[in-house]
């Protein structure tokens, strides 16, 4: 599992004090704003967050230490920001999308149904896209369908309800 997870993308500058507008790629801009440190890919560079606030529409305004002018902030445009997974504890039964994508989906009997290729938030529950060859199947992320998720083994055990994996 990757230690650093993509969490946001800097899309533009904000104001004259070096703040940036960042598109949150996590559950909400509020979750992004709780972080005190952000990182470049692989954790090579640490960005200390001086202050941040949700902006709405999935955005946050962030002030990074040492970025004090619009010109300095403009250099960061399109930069992907990462979070250390240890700074983002998850509730029991929750997973990072990065840990689910690529996971093998199997039945209780061990039949391989495919690989998790994407995760969609629908409001009521997430939906997992399972890809097998050229075919894509969509399963609700609910306890009666997703029986077990083992991130260490990279395997999700699924109950294939009638109709979920029909080839037609």
- pLDDT tens digits for 18-45? 999 999 998 889 999 999 999 999 889 9
Confidence of residue 79 (pLDDT cuts 50, 70, 90): very high
Three-state DSSP state, 78? coil
The phi, psi pair for 111, rounded to 5°, reads -70, 130
Domains with residue ranges and CATH for the chain:
4-86 (2.40.30.60), 97-158 (2.30.30.240)
pLDDT digits (tens, 9 = 90+) for 135-161: 999 999 999 999 999 999 999 999 988
Q: Count Cα neighbours of 99 within 13 Å in the Cβ-side half-sphere.
A: 17
Terminal-to-terminal C-alpha distance of the chain: 35
pLDDT of the residue at 56: 81
């Amino acid at each position: 599992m990757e230690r650093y997870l993509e969490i946001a993308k800097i899309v533009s500058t904000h104001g004259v004090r070096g703040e940036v507008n960042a598109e949150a790629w996590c559950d909400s801009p509020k979750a992004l704003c709780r972080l005190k440190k952000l990182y470049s890919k692989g954790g090579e560079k640490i960005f200390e967050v001086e202050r941040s606030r949700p902006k709405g529409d999935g955005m946050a305004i962030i002030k990074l230490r040492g970025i004090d002018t619009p010109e300095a902030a403009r250099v960061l445009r399109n930069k992907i920001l990462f979070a250390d997974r240890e700074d983002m504890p998850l509730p029991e039964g929750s997973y990072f999308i990065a840990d689910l994508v690529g996971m093998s989906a199997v039945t209780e009997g061990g039949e391989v149904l495919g690989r998790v290729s994407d995760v969609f938030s629908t409001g009521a529950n997430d939906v997992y896209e399972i890809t097998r060859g050229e075919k894509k199947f969509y399963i609700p992320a609910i306890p009666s369908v997703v029986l077990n998720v083992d991130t260490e083994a990279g395997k999700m055990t699924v109950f294939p309800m009638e109709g979920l994996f029909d080839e037609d």
